[in-house]
Amino acid sequence: MSKGAHRKEGFQKKEVKEYEEEVLEISRVTRVVKGGRKLRFRATVVIGNKKGRVGLGVGKSNEVTGAIQKAISQAKKNLVNVTLDNTTIAHDTSIKYKAAKLYLRPAAPGTGIIAGGTVRKVLGLAGVKDILSKAIGTTNKICNARATVLALKNMRTTPAMERKAKALAAKKAAAQAQPKPQTPVKKPIAKPQNKPVAKQAGKPQEKSTKSE
Domain span including residue 115 = 20-160
Would 201 be classed as within a structural domain?
A: no
Instruction: State whether residue 127 is helix, strand or coil.
Output: coil
Q: What predicted TM-score, i.e. pTM, was given to this entire model?
A: 0.73
Structural domain includes residue 11: no
Q: Which has more confidence, 203 or 15? A: 15
> What's the chain's average pLDDT?
85
**Choice between 171 and 97, residue whose per-residue pLDDT is larger:** 97
Q: Is residue 57 part of a domain?
A: yes
Query: Tell me, what CATH number does 25's domain have?
Result: 3.30.230.10
Residue 204 lies in a domain: no
pLDDT number for residue 49: 94
Q: Which residue has the higher pLDDT, 144 or 183?
A: 144
Domain count along the chain: 1
| Residue pLDDT, tens place only, 166-193 | 888 888 888 888 776 666 667 677 666 6
Residue 65 lies inside a defined structural domain of this protein: yes
9-26 average pLDDT score: 76
Evaluate whether residue 180 is within a structural domain: no
Q: What is the model's pLDDT at position 191?
A: 67
pLDDT the model gives residue 14: 59
Averaged pLDDT, 49-69? 95
Q: Classify residue 194: in a domain, yes or no.
A: no
pLDDT band at residue 146 under the 50/70/90 scheme: very high
Model confidence pLDDT, tens digit, residues 70-87: 999 999 999 999 999 889
Q: What local confidence, expressed as pLDDT, does residue 200 receive?
A: 57
The CA-CA-CA angle for residues 93, 24, 75, to 5°, reads 75
pLDDT of 207 > 90? The answer is: no
119, 135 Cβ separation under 8 angstroms: yes
Do the beta carbons of residue 157 and residue 90 sit within 8 Å? yes
